[in-house]
Structures are given as structure tokens and as C-alpha cells.
Chains A and B, each alone.
Chain A
Amino acid sequence: MSPSSRKFVRNLSSERRREAIAGYLFILPNLMGFLLFVLGPVIAALVLGFVEWDMRSSGEFVGLANYRKLAFEDEYFWKYVLNTLFLMLGIPIGMAGSLLLALVLNQKIRGRVFFRTIYFLPTMCAGVAIYFLWLWLLDADFGLVNQLLVHLRLPRIGWLTTVRWAKPSLILMGLWTGVGGFNMILYLAALQNVPKHLYEAAEIDGAGRWRKFWAVTWPYLTPTTFFISIMSIIGGLQGGFEMAYIMTKGGPLGSTTTINYYLFKNIYDYARFGYAASIAWVLFLMVFVFTLLNWRLGGRLVSYD
């Protein structure tokens, strides 16, 4: 224990001291888990980023060479960063969709519990099952989507096999899964916190539907929107791995390879352990900077009361 906690414990009565020690013991397993499985590997990855090691005999200390290569010499890496950012375009669309659904399902329409359930169902399915489902739906020859197109006398589209359609297909799949999921629940909860009397006051002042939404509802939604946007951006920057691994293996000509999947390829296909670790840390720095920016700039737009 640190000197301050020791002093803390010593200054307590014996009853409280026993409680304090018990408290420390209770969090000890969690703390050990964190140190062993989170902090330890993170520090190891930091060290690995300065080494080039192919997981065989000995690695070689190369200083900042991995980072320099990543920044200036790896033409693929920046392409994959753009891929990741493109796939994140689904975030604002998904948020708008979830908000729209929440607005609709917040009203006293018939069957709203039923609708809330079915919209939430995709979130409850195991991710891998959804990826396989869409892999077969989007199959260029036998998939149901293309069969529908053929039925409508339209040309078939290689959804996951052409460079032009691979990323949009993944965004659409993400929207199907995400809209109506946790974001909708969060928005529903926020909507139910809006005081009803404000709506009445607005109506008395002659506000129309749009004005009511903008002036009354939206301020109460800003904390939720802020939260969702930060979490989605953090997740989006790190994401795209399962889709690439299960559905496209990095995609036609690397068009669905994200930073995360590129990291995986560097470990298992290219045997560049040190380089992969440096990618991980660059990704961390990106997430850190984006979150910081989001916090500073977005924080100003949030109204709390």
C-alpha cells in the first residue's frame, strides 16, 4: 500500500481498519487481473514498438524506425486509415436513425413495445452470426439481395467483391445492426426525461413541431449525443476487424482492411511483431487525440441543467 493509504488505515479505528483492509482485499483480484492482463501487455506493446521481432530467435532494437516507417514509408497504412475513416461515416447516419426511431417509438402508438423489441433484436444476436448472415445475403451469385435485383431486371452487384461496393455494403450492414440498438435505448431514456410542461409552454407560445424539437427536446438530448459520439468514434477507429476477418479477408484489393485488421495481418501473415505493436500505439494516439478534440469542442455544445 502507498504511504498515504497506510496512514489512512493506521488513523482509523480498528473496526474501520478491518473494513478498509477487507475492501483492499476485495479489489485485489480485479486489480491483479488489470495489471496482468491489461497494463502488463500495454507496457509490453510499448516496448515491442521499438523492436523488430519476427517471433523467432532474437529481436533487434530499432528505436523509432517502426514509427518512421509507418508515418513516411508505408503507403498501405494511410490507405487503411482512410478505409477506417470511411467506414466511420456510418456513425452519424446511425445516430440520426436511432434518434428518429426513438422519437417515433416514444409516442403512444399502438404496438410500440413490440417495435422496440424487434428493432433491438439484431443487437442481441452474436456478432459472428450476423456477419455470416450478411455474407450469404450479399453473395454475388446466390445471395438473396442479388436475386431480388435480378427479379427486378436490374444488373447484379458484387457487393463484397467489388472495390466500389465493399465498404458501402459494410456500412449498410452496420446500420442494420446498430440502428435500433443501444443508441436508441439511450435516446429513449433521454427523451423520457424531458419535462412535459415545457412542451405545453412551447405550444402556448405558438411553436410548431420542428421548433418544439429544436428548442425543447434537442437540449435534453445533447448529453446523450455527446456520449454516443465519443463512444462510437473510439469504437469506430478500432473496429472493422471482425467484418474483414469473416467476410472479406481485407476486401477486394485491400479496400476493407482497417487499421485493426492490418495489425492482425502484420502479426500472423507477415510476422512483424514489433511493427504491429507500433501500429497499436499509433492507433491509441489517434483515439486519444480524437477523443480529446471531441471532448473539448463537443463539450461546449452540451447543455446540462
Chain B
Amino acid sequence: MKKCKSLLGLVVPLIAVLLSGCGKESTTEEHEKLWVTAYATTIYDPVRRELYAEFENTQPDVKIDYLPNQYGEYYNKLTLQLASGKAPDVVFTENIFLPRHARAGDFISLDPFIQADKDFRLSDFHDVGLKMYQFEGEQYAMPGNLAVFVMFYNKDIFDAEDIAPPDETWDWDKLLEVSKKLTKRDSEGNVTRFAISPSRHYSIFMMQNGAKVYNDDYAKCIIDNEAAKEAIQFYAELADKHNVTPNLSQLKSYQTVDLFQNGKCAMLITGRWSILGYRNIKDFEWDVAPLPHGKKRATLLASHGWAVSKTCKNPKLAWEFVKYITGPAGARRVVDMGDCNPALNTLDDYFINEATAKWPKEKNDNQVYVDSLAYAYTDPFLHPWVPIAEIEDKFVEKMEEYREGEKTLDVALREFQDMMNKLIDERRPKAPLSTSKD
């Protein structure tokens, strides 16, 4: 008898707990859930939640299921979710990851929805933004914003040295000439102020010299060419020979300091997102100019976009959401936050005029960002099936070997090309890409 009572005491609560769990399931069946994932920032998230609420108002019986993720963990988690087959419906992604996702079939092609949707005009978007999210002719995501690389410069330094600020007529020779004048050294020859602090320098100078990294179908790496060598050498000379920009050992010491923000460098090539930090600069006046040009005019473009994953059960609903958040309603909010260019060309005027009401200084600058879009391209190192992290690690390692003097540029570049070709063959996916046209 005693044993029966104690057993009952164990079993009854257990059954109650299980039943209560079942009960909860049935009450949420009324709403259709759309599972959205993105990484959160303190600026973006409140805006996003407003947009989700607005979207839910336009769609009866739909609830957005969204949990913010931290930036560092977001892409790791997404990799595992996609591998396990239980991925969110709508995925926030960036252009650097799109080729691999598209080739692997993680995202569905949005072409059928674009073509079937009568109110939707693809031409409202900047072509360069759309192209970043296309793969083999199909659209795999819609751009949410565009971050173009421009030249930030310290107006006070240019005024003090009585040099005309940078403009679109500058070419590589002029850049070097002005940089030499702007670099200040102390009595022992150490640099106290650099002229320029570029980032993604290899990509930008290579694009401006017309150098290609891969052939058209990404089957071979062809970086071992004269145009690439000239571009790499130009940057290497800026850093190592003339030292107008930090060389390797200086970069290691200055890594944690934002040279531009501390007035320790006159020019900075970076993306528009940096403006969020630079708006707080009180010590000096700064302004924005288009990049100098090499043989070609080119600048780098980055962006974020929204895609629909292959595990989505209701792709039509997911498409409505993507349309909404990258459409005028969503994009306008992003512009209001003062972050990057809109991906919609219909919002360009708004971006230049009204959104800068908060930051009147930038009214002329915003025209520079929009104009630069005409010659903006995505990173030439991106590859559809080799992860960009692996490519960058290996390229940087080889370039360091060249710049430390261990190898000549010819040898280092050829070794990198051989390594890349091996990687491309090794990691080529076995399954062909199935498209919506099949």
C-alpha cells in the first residue's frame, strides 16, 4: 500500500505536466508563425520590432517569431540551423555570404514571386544592389541597404597644410603625392601622423586597376596577372616604401586605435557605416569625398539583405515579408536611422534631402554616396563555394610573406593562385544547383 501511494505521487504529477504541455500547443494553432532571424544591434532592433508590428497588422493571423542574436554567434548558429534542416523562414544575410548560400541551395530563388507579383517593380531597386544578391541569373535575396566605400578626410589637416581636399579628379599619382606631403614625422623619423588609413585596400586597388581574381564561371583563380601585381605593389609601396600608411609592424601596434578618429591620419577609406561613430567627433571637422581612381573608377560595396530559406513552409508569406521590409516602408526607416544608402533608388532623394535634416552637415556628402554607386562593385574575392574566411586568411598570409621580404610578389601571388585553384577543385559541391527553372 505504501509503495502504491508513493508511486502514484510520482506518476500523477508527471502525467499532469505532460498534459499541460499538450494543452498549450492547441491554443497557438490559430496564428501562422513566420520565423525570422537576424543579428541585433541596439540601433536596429527597436526599428525592426516596429516594422514587424506593422507587417502583422497588414496580415491577419500572422505572428512574427523573432529572437535577436548576437553578431558573433549569429552566423555560427545559422550554419548549424541550415545544416540540420530546421532553419528559420526568413534569414538576414550579407552580400559576402550570398554566393555560397545560393550555390548550396540554402535560399530559394525569389524569381517566381517577383514575376508573379504585379505591384512589384524590380527597377525601383539600384541595379548594383540587386546584382549582389543574384547568382547564375536568379535573385536569391533582396537588398536592405547599401554601404558604399568613400574617402573620409580631416578638413582641419587639409586646411592647415593648405592642400585642396580630395575630389573625383584624383588618381593614384596624385594620391601618393598628397600623401607624402601630409605624413608628419618627428625628429627621430617615426611617423606621428599618417596620410591615409585604408581598409580592404587590396580589393579596392585591384578593382581600380582592372584586375580580376577569378574567371567568369569561378572555376579558376587567375589572380596571377600584371594588373593585380601593379595594384598590390602600389599599396605595398604606400605602406612599406613611403610609409604614408601604417606598414605591417605599425598596423600591429595601432590595431586598437582608430587613427582617423584620433586625428592621427588625414584620410580614411571605409564604408558608410563608420559614420555612426564619426558623428560624435568633436575635435575636428571632417568631410567625405569620392575615392581616387586608377585605370578605372571603382569602389567597394557591402550590404545586408533578406532571403527566404529552403525550409520555409509558406514561401509566399515569407516573400510578402521580405517585400515589406525591403520596400519603401522598411527602407525609409533604415534611412531615418542615419545608416547606409537605401537600396531603393526611389528613396535616393529622400536620403539626400530629408533624412539629413538631423545632420545638416551631411547634405552634400550624401550626394557623394549616391554618385559612388555608379561604379561600386562587390568584393572580387568572393567565391560561390570556398568560404571567404578561408580565402582571406590565405591571401593575407601570402601577402605578409611578400611584404616581410620572404618571397617576391611573383612567387607569393603564384603560390596563392595555386592554393586557390586546389581549394576550388577540392571544395566544389557534388550536387548541381537546382534552379526554379528546372
Which of A95-126 touch B at CB < 8 Å? none
B430→A161 contact, CB < 8 A: no
Q: Evaluate contact between B427 and A54: CB separation under 8 angstroms.
A: yes
Interface 0/1 of A191-208, CB less than 8 Å to B: 000000000000000000
Task: Report the separation of the CA atoms of residues A57 and B393 in the bound assembly, to the nearest whole angstrom.
Answer: 25
B390-A270 in contact (CB<8A): yes
Interface residues of A in 156-171 (CB under 8 A from B): 156, 158, 161-163
Interface string of B406-438 (1 = CB under 8 A from A): 000000000000000000001101110000000
Interchain CB contact under 8 A, B431 and A58: yes
Chain B nearest Cβ from A175, distance in angstroms: 24
Q: A269-B387, A270-B387 are in contact. Are A55 and B79 (CB under 8 A)?
A: yes
Contacts A55-B79, A56-B106; A161 near B256 (Cβ below 8 A): yes
User: A150 vs B425: C-alpha distance in the bound complex, in angstroms?
Assistant: 52
A140 in contact with B256 (CB, 8 Å)? yes
Bound CA–CA A271/B253 (angstroms): 31
CB closest chain-A residue, reference B396:
A253
Cβ-closest chain A residue relative to B385 = A54
How many residues on A have C-beta within 8 angstroms of the other chain's C-beta atoms?
23
Shortest distance in angstroms between B35's beta carbon and chain A's nearest beta carbon?
20
Cα distance, A23 to B387, chains bound together (Å): 51
Docked complex Cα distance between A271 and B390 (Å)? 9
* Selected contact of B79 from candidates A252, A253, A254, A271, CB within 8 Å: A271
Q: How far is the CA of A249 from the CA of B274 in the complex (A)?
A: 22
A19 at the interface (CB under 8 A from B): no
B252 at the interface (CB under 8 A from A): yes
A268 in the interface, Cβ–Cβ < 8 Å?
Answer: yes
Answer whether A161 and B83 are a contact pair too, CB < 8 Å, given A56-B105, A58-B431, A60-B430: no
Interface string of B91-113 (1 = CB under 8 A from A): 00000000000001110000000
Q: Given known contacts A55-B79, A57-B104, is B253 in contact with A162 (CB within 8 Å)?
A: yes
A141 close to chain B: CB less than 8 A: yes
A270 and B256 form a contact (CB under 8 A): no
Interface of A is mostly: loop
Say if the beta carbon of B255 comes within 8 Å of chain A.
Answer: yes
* Contact pick for B390, options A57, A156, A254, A269, CB 8 Å: A269
A20-64 near B? 1/0 per residue, CB < 8 Å: 000000000000000000000000000000001011111010000
Do residues B252 and A252 form an inter-chain contact, with CB atoms below 8 A?
yes
**Residues 217-266 (chain B) with a chain A CB within 8 angstroms:** 249, 252-257
Q: Which residue of A lies closest to B72 (CB)?
A: A245
Q: Least Cβ distance of B81 to chain A in Å?
A: 10
Q: Which residue of A lies closest to B404 (CB)?
A: A253
Is B389 a contact of A140 with CB atoms below 8 Å?
no
Residues of chain B with a CB closer than 8 A to A271's CB: 79, 387
Q: Evaluate whether A158 and B387 lie within 8 angstroms (CB atoms) in the complex, with A54-B427, A57-B105, A57-B430 already known.
A: no
Query: What separation, in Å, do the CA atoms of A55 and B249 have in the docked complex?
Result: 38
Interface 1/0 per residue, A129-162 and B, CB below 8 Å: 0000000000111000000000000001010011
Query: Bound state CA distance, A161 and B251, in angstroms?
Result: 9
Interface residues of B in 368-415 (CB under 8 A from A): 387, 389-390, 393, 397, 400
Distance A265 CA – B400 CA, assembled complex (angstroms) = 20
Contact A161 B253, CB 8 Å, known A56-B104, A57-B104, A270-B387:
yes
For residue A269, which residues in chain B have a CB less than 8 angstroms away from its CB? 387, 389-390, 393
Q: Tell me, rounded to whole Å, the shortest Cβ–Cβ distance linking A250 to chain B.
A: 9
- Please pick, from B252, B426, B430, the residue contacting A162 in the complex, using a CB distance under 8 A: B252
Question: Per-position contact with A for B140-160: 1 when CB-CB < 8 Å, else 0?
Answer: 000000000000000000000
Bound CA span A71–B257, Å: 39
In A49-105, which residues have CB < 8 Å from any B CB?
52, 54-58, 60
**In the complex, A140 Cα to B149 Cα: how many Å?**
28
| 8 A Cβ contacts from B180-222 to A | none
Chain B contacts for A158, CB-based, 8 A: 252-253, 255
> Of the candidates B79, B257, B426, B430, which one forms a contact with A141 in the assembled complex, judged by CB atoms under 8 Å apart?
B257
Query: In chain A, residues 237-263, which have Cβ atoms closer than 8 Å to a Cβ of chain B?
Result: 252-254
Verify if B27 is at the interface (C-beta below 8 Å from A). Answer: no
Kindly state the separation between the CA atoms of A57 and B104 in the bound complex, as whole angstroms: 8
B76 within 8 Å of A (CB atoms)? yes
Minimal beta-carbon separation of B392 from chain A (angstroms):
9
- Among A54, A55, A156, A158, max chain B CB count under 10 A is at A54
Interchain CB contact under 8 A, A140 and B253: yes
Instruction: For the complex, give the distance between the alpha carbons of A58 and B104 in Å.
Output: 11
Which residues on the A side are within 8 Å of B83 (C-beta)? Answer: 55-56
> CB-CB < 8 A to B80: which residues of A?
55
> How far, in Å, is A72 (CB) from chain B's closest CB?
14
B107 CB → nearest A CB, Å: 12
Task: Indicate if the CB atoms of A139 and B387 lie closer than 8 Å.
Answer: no
Alpha-carbon distance between A140 and B257 when the two chains are bound, in angstroms: 9
C-alpha spacing A56/B80, complex, angstroms = 10
* Interface contacts beyond A57-B105, A162-B249, A270-B390: sample of 12 additional A-B pairs, CB < 8 Å, sorted by A: A55-B79, A56-B105, A56-B429, A57-B104, A57-B430, A58-B431, A60-B430, A139-B256, A161-B255, A163-B252, A270-B387, A271-B79
A-B contact pairs, 30 of them (CB 8 A): A54-B104, A54-B427, A55-B80, A55-B82, A56-B82, A56-B83, A56-B104, A56-B105, A56-B106, A56-B429, A57-B431, A58-B431, A60-B430, A140-B253, A140-B257, A156-B253, A158-B252, A158-B255, A161-B252, A161-B255, A161-B256, A162-B252, A253-B397, A253-B400, A254-B397, A265-B389, A269-B389, A269-B390, A271-B79, A271-B387
What are the 8 closest A-B residue pairs judged by CB atoms, nearest first? A269-B389, A55-B83, A56-B104, A158-B253, A270-B390, A268-B76, A57-B431, A161-B252
